[in-house]
Amino acid sequence: MFTTPETTSPQLLAWCRDALQALAVGFYVAAQLGLATYSSHRFVVLQRMRLARPIAPLPALKPGALPRVTVQLPVYNEPQVVERLIDSAVALEYPADRLEIQLLDDSDDGTTAIAAAAIARHRARGTDVLHVRRAERAGYKAGALAHGLALASGEFVAVFDADFVPAPDFLLRMLPHFADPGVGMVQARWGHLNRGRSLLTAAQAVMLDAHFLLEHAVRMSRGLFFNFNGTAGIWRCRCIEEAGGWSHDTLTEDMDLSYRAQLAGWRFVFDRSVVVPAELPSSMRAFKSQQHRWAKGSIQTARKLLPAVFASDVPWGVKLEAFFHLTSNAAYPMLLALGLLLLPVMLGSSVLPPVVVLAMQAVVLVTGVLPVTLFLAGGQYEAGARGWALVRDTLAALVLGVGLSWNNARAVWEALGSEVGVFERTPKTGEMSVAGPVRARAGAAQKRMAIQPELALAAYFVVLLGWAAASHEWRALPFLALLIAGYGWVGAAPRGSQHVDS
């Protein structure tokens, strides 16, 4: 006997429903395992931090042994900060006959006139400051650094982005590390000029403190690869040359050159005791642009150099850490996938036993959220934060990181394509403290376009939270609350934020 469509359709629909739910659960589990792997790596960093030893104090270089140094200041349309940058470079305590300063100016606005006036003022006093201009902005920052390096007379080159303000003794404290001929680069720690301006800048400071005080410190102490951060560091010129020079085929030219240099056998040093303060992006739009460039560039560098890393003769521990370092931003699309797949997983009780679904939700919090939270808090503890400020700022950084998942997942997806993309500089305002002015401007249309995806995601998760509460799906509420807070903050952040007392 033949069955009729009327008898088979309900069964077919039920089969299709179960198959789709099983597929969604499969993708959810895969994303969960991937995110847990990357997040749990933070436990490894924290464990290694307990064994990391600080750098032993180095003897100062004798005045007659001080090498010639070139200071490079790459700028592009930085009218608010260029004069301060030049003044701070000129104020470096170093013999004038052994110091050369290059302002690598690719600007096409009023920055050039401001810089020219400041340079003329210092040159009249006998300071060697060169105003280097190119016919076109080929290769963006990497191109400017390479162009300046071809003109440089120094054995070492220090690099400062436009918003950095090095202390006068920067060179004298950093150069002794190069007494070891195998050291190719020395990186200082970033400080934060405007950390207390808002919860946004405080959260960024937490992220950066953990990056420097935990990741950099651990990688250096264990002999693992780590990267020059694009500024506030000194390179041995021969190291740059032997590594193949600056390249602009990724958006993170600093990370690219760092890995090529270490593959060539050079050793890097991170000196946490030398802190160079800089400006944190004070608007969400500027911060998202910066994070998008960093995320996209790191995946581009992974595509470019991981084959060379794994083909090299460095120890397997170095190779594995390099993989986690270069691909760490892959965690963002996994986090986004977990949020989007939460609904079919909660509906999947017909596919999985409730206890299994509950365990899956618990794993997200224990292996995903907990290690990241401890990592961020550990960075703040190393930076000297205690009490309520540590708790508040750590939670803010956690929520902000969740809210970035759409922005950075898009960057990871773009990095898988063939186009390098445009190097978009992070706007600088020149603010030195909470009271400083915020002069950056952005069109309202740009702002609306930037916040639409995150607000849409926040709205979706609000609806899902309501449904979960009505359905007594209490297991999903903590994760949903975190998603709503993150996407809501990133999507609806005002241009001016309230001051946060430290």
The catalytic residues are: 106, 254
**Backbone dihedral angles phi then psi of residue 197, each to the nearest 5 degrees:** -65, -40
| Distance (Å, whole) CA 290 – CA 231 | 14
493, two tokens: 């952040």
Strands 156-159 and 183-192: unpaired
* HEC per residue, 145-168: HHHHHHHCCCCEEEECCCCCCCCC
- DSSP SS3 for 99: strand
Question: Nearest-5° angle of CA 399, CA 401, CA 402?
Answer: 65
214, two tokens: 């935990």
Question: Cβ(297)–Cβ(327) under 8 Å?
Answer: no
State the helix-helix crossing angle for 199-210 and 284-311, rounded to 10 degrees.
10
Query: Residue 8 CB: number of other CB atoms within 10 A?
Result: 11
Quickly list DSSP for 240-276: HHHTT----SSS-HHHHHHHHHHHTT-EEEEEEEEEE
Count the helix, strand and coil residues of the chain and give each as a percent rounded to the nearest 5: 60, 10, 30
Closest alpha carbon to 434 in 166, 165, 190, 195: 195
